[in-house]
């Protein structure tokens, strides 16, 4: 079984908060609206949808285009620490999806106008951003203008009252989101839940390269004092943020190679950072069946927990995007989970291998399972447990809307 799965809270015994989970696993993919909820349910001993919604509404958790240019849910600390280190990758993403855009509009002028537009509103949809910018820059394709602004400015999604049933995505600058709650910063989930972990306790071990190591697996970086870098809402410069991004990846998915770190993050040329923040080892992790791929790096993990035999993973879960090669059975199964137009289904995993895939039944509040083989009793039971949870949450959120 892949060693990194011990770091992904798949034993479902963790009793922390959604914020702590997201911090420990280096963010959760949020390309589909319900994926974060499913990702938390499969990792927490007891998951309450209301806890997630409160964290999102207070912007302790945010959704934004980050790693690989895709939508992720990360903690506020992770966002302000990582965002600028991802800027060059996001620039390349825009150049790839919007060829010729910068021949029709000035890069800096567009971003200045986009920032001003967002500050004038409490949230705009993709269509609204594109339409407004299209009027001012008529020589450019409006959708490309909107895409560039959403990718290249520090933008986050406006939090919905009920994230399980979101409205059309709206966007604001991160500074707007964080400023809105700065004057009335809510009690951190760790304190609200009665956790005894304190800001002083989590600083009890300093690594040689300056990293702060948790005192235990329930460590919550958001329990720091407000003056801690990354907590005030001000974006950290890339030279400070990139080491934290890479270290977080290693803690959640190590041991891993340079190619793996780049594949997960979308950031190239990470070897110097890996060398500075990771512990190198030559060879290959136990789950790798292919040839050795140079040096592997690791860092002290937040979590070390034996995964349960059967568990559900949501669409685009990052366990499928943490390895560049296909040596891991999970990573090699990704090709089958991705449909012809690039949409990825959820999966049912047993003993480290995919045994079925599933997808939401749009508008029906149910999930449909497609087995890859005959399922045994434990596998079928685990999926039925997930299906029942989905139905319960769907019914509860329907009544609330």
Of 75, 79, 56, the closest CA to residue 166 belongs to 56
Of 312, 316, 382, the closest CA to residue 349 belongs to 312
Is residue 297 predicted with pLDDT exceeding 50?
yes
Using DSSP's 3-state secondary structure scheme, residue 184 falls into coil
Q: What is the mean pLDDT of residues 332-358?
A: 94
Q: What is the mean pLDDT of residues 73-97?
A: 98
Position 235 scores a pLDDT of 95
Structure tokens at 59: 């912007």
Confidence class for position 287, pLDDT limits 50, 70, 90: low
Position 206 scores a pLDDT of 30
Position 61 scores a pLDDT of 98
Structure tokens at 71: 């939508």
Quote the strand ranges of 126-194, DSSP E.
155-157, 170-173
12-26, 62-76, 223-237, 317-331 — which is least confidently predicted? 223-237
Structure tokens at 389: 């949870």
Q: What angle do CA 298, 46, 157 make, to 5 degrees?
A: 70
136-140, 178-182, 212-216 — which is least confidently predicted? 212-216
Is residue 51 predicted with pLDDT exceeding 50?
yes
* Rounded CA separation 154/149 (Å): 9
Give phi and psi for 366, each to the nearest 5.
-130, 170
Confidence class for position 99, pLDDT limits 50, 70, 90: very high
366: number of Cβ within 10 Å? 12
**Rama region for 313: left / alpha / beta (φ>0; ψ in -120 to 50; rest):** beta
Of 249, 261, 186, the closest CA to residue 24 belongs to 249
Its sign, for the CA torsion 65, 21, 352, 299, is positive
Please, are residues 376 and 400 in contact by the beta-carbon 8 Å criterion?
A: no
pTM: 0.86
CB-facing half-sphere around the CA of 166: CA atoms within 13 A? 21
Using DSSP's 3-state secondary structure scheme, residue 104 falls into coil
Structure tokens at 152: 């290249």
Helix (H) or strand (E) holding 296: strand 295-298
184 versus 274: the higher-pLDDT residue is 274
Is residue 63 predicted with pLDDT exceeding 60?
yes
Confidence class for position 328, pLDDT limits 50, 70, 90: confident
CB-facing half-sphere around the CA of 273: CA atoms within 13 A? 23
Helix (H) or strand (E) holding 238: helix 238-253
Position 363 scores a pLDDT of 61
Using DSSP's 3-state secondary structure scheme, residue 209 falls into coil
Is residue 79 predicted with pLDDT exceeding 80?
yes
Pairing of strands 256-257, 212-213: unpaired
Helix (H) or strand (E) holding 92: helix 87-97
Of 385, 293, 298, 312, the closest CA to residue 350 belongs to 312
Please, are residues 156 and 71 in contact by the beta-carbon 8 Å criterion?
A: no
**Secondary structure letter of residue 348 according to DSSP:** E
User: For residue 344, what are the β-bridge partners?
Assistant: 338
**Angle formed by the axes of helices 238-253 and 258-265, nearest 10°:** 110
55-64, 136-145, 386-395 — which is least confidently predicted? 386-395
């Amino acid at each position: 079984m892949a060693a990194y799965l011990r770091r992904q809270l798949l034993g479902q015994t963790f009793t922390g908060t959604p914020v702590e989970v997201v911090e420990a696993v280096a963010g959760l993919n949020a390309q589909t609206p319900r994926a974060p909820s499913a990702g938390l349910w499969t990792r927490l001993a007891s998951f309450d949808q209301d806890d997630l919604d409160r964290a999102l509404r207070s912007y302790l958790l945010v959704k934004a285009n980050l790693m690989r240019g895709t939508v992720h849910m990360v903690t506020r600390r992770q966002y302000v620490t990582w965002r600028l280190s991802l800027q060059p990758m996001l620039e390349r993403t825009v150049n790839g999806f919007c060829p010729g855009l910068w021949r029709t509009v000035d890069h800096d002028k567009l971003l200045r106008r986009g920032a001003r537009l967002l500050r004038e509103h409490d949230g705009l949809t993709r269509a609204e951003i594109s339409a407004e910018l299209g009027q001012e820059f008529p020589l450019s394709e409006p959708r490309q203008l909107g895409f560039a602004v959403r990718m290249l400015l520090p933008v986050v999604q406006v939090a919905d009252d009920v994230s399980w049933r979101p409205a059309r995505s709206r966007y604001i600058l991160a500074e707007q989101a964080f400023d809105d709650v700065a004057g009335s910063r809510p009690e951190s989930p760790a304190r609200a839940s009665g956790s005894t972990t304190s800001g002083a306790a989590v600083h009890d071990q300093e690594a040689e390269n300056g990293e702060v190591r948790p005192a235990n697996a329930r460590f919550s970086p958001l329990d720091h004092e407000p003056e801690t870098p990354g907590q005030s809402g001000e974006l950290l410069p890339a030279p400070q943020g990139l080491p934290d991004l890479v270290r977080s990846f290693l803690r959640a998915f190590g041991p891993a190679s340079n190619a793996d770190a780049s594949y997960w993050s979308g950031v190239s040329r990470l070897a110097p950072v890996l060398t500075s923040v990771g512990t190198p080892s030559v060879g290959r992790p136990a789950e790798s069946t292919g040839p050795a791929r140079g040096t592997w790096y690791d860092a002290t993990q937040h979590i070390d927990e034996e995964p349960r035999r059967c568990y559900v993973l949501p669409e685009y879960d990052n366990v499928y995007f943490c390895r560049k090669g296909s040596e891991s059975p999970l990573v090699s199964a990704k090709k089958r989970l991705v449909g012809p137009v690039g949409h990825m289904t959820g999966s049912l995993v047993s003993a480290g291998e995919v045994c079925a895939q599933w997808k939401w039944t749009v508008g029906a509040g149910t999930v449909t399972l497609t087995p890859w083989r005959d399922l045994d009793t434990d596998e079928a039971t685990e999926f039925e447990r997930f299906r029942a949870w989905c139905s319960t949450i769907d019914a509860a959120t329907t009544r609330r809307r």
